[in-house]
Amino acid sequence: MNKQAFIACIADLVPFGSRVLDLGCGDGELLSYLQQSKGCSGYGVEIDDENVLECVKRGVQVIQLNLDQGLTMFEDASFDVVLQIDTLQNLRNAETMLVETVRVGELGIVAFPNFAHWPNRLSILQGRMPVTKRLPYQWYDTPNIRVGTFSDFEVLAQKNDIEILDSFGVKDAKTVRTFPNLLAPTAVFKIQR
């Protein structure tokens, strides 16, 4: 996946001038892009020491925090947008963090690897866990605690009274709206309480 094009695709969902909280922000590249191209402000949340240092180098305000501990330090609706880009599948408390996303933010944007993408299905039919560009790890060394699909996320959102404002897939940094559960390696959801 072209990382820059993917970042631009996610950034298109963020209103200009938003106050943003980026959960699991990695090296801060997305938040830095939002600051420079859309006049956004806010914080990244990251646990990894090296990524925290990269955020600082990029001029991104970052809080070093284990997301499995929750977001109790933030009040309700303290941000316009809360991002969880490739974070949800790595969390032990995914459901709690999804609810926290829409509590802390007026709007949530969640993206994760779509396990129902057709190459993954084919790999499972052949008796193997998938290894793809989007899921590049072997089953035994993956950082992903869980895998999910569009349909799985929709059920989880409904269970927690979270409204899905928009959903689509991303493949090669292009939006996929026709059969995204089958045709897109990345699932993207725009949500609110």
Q: pLDDT tens, 134-190? A: 877 788 888 777 889 999 999 999 999 999 999 999 998 899 999 999 999 999 999
pLDDT at 20 over 90: yes
Q: What is the pTM of this model?
A: 0.92
Q: What is the rounded distance in angstroms from the CA atom of residue 153 to the CA atom of residue 166? A: 12
Q: What is the rounded distance in angstroms from the CA atom of residue 154 to the CA atom of residue 167? A: 10
Q: What is the rounded distance in angstroms from the CA atom of residue 91 to the CA atom of residue 66? A: 9
Q: What is the rounded distance in angstroms from the CA atom of residue 100 to the CA atom of residue 173? A: 28
Q: What is the CATH number of the domain that holds 91?
A: 3.40.50.150
Q: What is the rounded distance in angstroms from the CA atom of residue 114 to the CA atom of residue 23? A: 19
Residue 1: predicted pLDDT: 58
Task: Tell me the H-state helices in 126-174.
Answer: 150-159
Helix (H, G, I), strand (E, B) or coil at 80: strand
Residue 28: predicted pLDDT: 96
Q: Please write the tens of the pLDDT for every residue from 86-129.
A: 998 888 889 999 999 999 999 999 999 999 999 888 988 989 88
Q: How many domains does the chain have?
A: 1
Q: Which of 158, 155, 181, 154 is nearest to 170 (CA)?
A: 181
Name the phi and psi angles at 173, rounded to 5. 65, 20
Provide the domain limits for residue 35: 3-192
pLDDT at 131 over 90: no
